[in-house]
Amino acid sequence: MDIQEIVQRVVEEVKKNMNLPKADTDQKTEEIIYFPEERIQGVDEPHNAASIERAQSITPARIGIGRTGTRMLTTSYLQFLIDHAAAQDAVSRDVSDDFLQNMGLQKLETKASDMKSYLMDLDSGRKLSDESVKFLEKNGDKGKEVQIIICDGLSSSAVEANVVDLLPALIQGLKLKNISVAKPFFIKRGRVWVQDEVAAIVNCDLVISLIGERPGLNTDESLSAYMIYRPTEKTVEADRTVISNIHKEGLTSLEAGAYLSDLIEQMLLAKCTGVSFAQQRSFNM
C-alpha cells in the first residue's frame, strides 16, 4: 500500500466519522474538509458522560476527545493542527491595509523593523519609529481626555475580529458621557509600553491600547485593553489596568466597548489607573 492510498483511506475515515460525503476519486480538484466548531464527544462508552459534558461546557480545553490506543483520534489530531496553524498565522500575519482603510485608521510603526526584531528585542516595540513620531507630533489630536490606540501585538486576528464592533461602541460610550476622544490610530508591531510615548506626544489624560493577545490553541482572536492615566518616566506595570479575553467566547466586543467606556469614566474621575484605581474602587464600594 503506497502513501497516497494510506492518505486517501485516512480522509475517508475522517469523513465517515463526521458524516461528510465521500470523495469523488474521479475528480482531480483540491479537496477541502470542513470541521465542525462544536465539541465532539470522543470517549467510547464513558462511565460518566454527564461529567465530561459539564467539563466541556465550562472550559475550552481539550477534554473528553477520546483516543485510539495511545494516540489521539484522527479528527482531534487534525483539529489540533488547524488550531496550531491559526495561532502561528495570527502572530506572523499583518493586519490588512484594507481593514485599516475601512476602519479609517492611520498606520504608524514602531522601531521593530520586522517580526524577528519585534519578538527578540522587546524595546523595539515600545518606541515609535522616527517617522511616526514626526507624524504624530504634526497630526496628532492633542489635548483630548482619551486617546485610543489599536496595536496588532501578538495577534492580527484579534484586531480584525474585534475592533470592528468594539471601537465604535467604545467611542460612542465615551462621547455619550461627554468625554473628549482623540482620533484613534493603528500601531504596527506595537507593545503595551508604546502608549506611554504616545500619551506624552498628544498630551491626553488617559490612553487605552487595544492589543492582540498571545494566541493559544483555544482561540487566536483574544484582545486585551490596557489603560494608563498620565504615564511618566516612573510609571510601572502596577499603574496600568488591563481587561483581557475580549473575544466571541469571552467578553464580547460590544460588551467590552460599553464596559470600557464606563471604566474609563471612573478612571478620569479618580485620576488614576492600576492598583491605585482598584484600591479607590474597593474603598468606595
Q: Which residues make up each annotated binding site?
A: 192, 213
Cα dist from 197 to 29, 175, 193, 251, 260, whole Å:
53, 24, 8, 28, 22
**Residue 148: which of 116, 173, 178, 183 has the closest Cα?**
183
Q: For residues 205 and 145, what is the distance between their CA atoms, to the nearest angstrom?
A: 5
Q: Is 113 helix (H, G, I), strand (E, B) or coil?
A: coil
What span, in angstroms and rounded, lies between the C-alpha atoms of 250 and 225?
A: 14
Per DSSP, the residues of 16-27 read HHTTPPPP-TT-
DSSP string, 79-99: HHHHHHHHHHHHHHSPPPHHH
Between CA 111 and CA 190 the distance in angstroms is 9
Which residues make up each annotated binding site for adenosylcob(III)alamin?
A: 192, 213
131 vs 123: CA distance, rounded Å: 17
The set of residues, in sequence order, having a beta carbon less than 8 Å from that of 56 and lying 6+ positions away, is 39, 63, 64
Q: What residue spans of 48-123 are helical by DSSP H?
A: 49-58, 74-92, 97-103, 115-120
Q: How far apart are CA 257 and CA 240, in angstroms?
A: 18
Q: Cell numbers at residue 259, please?
A: 464596559
- Cβ neighbourhood burial of 283 (10 Å; 0-12, 13-18, 19+): exposed
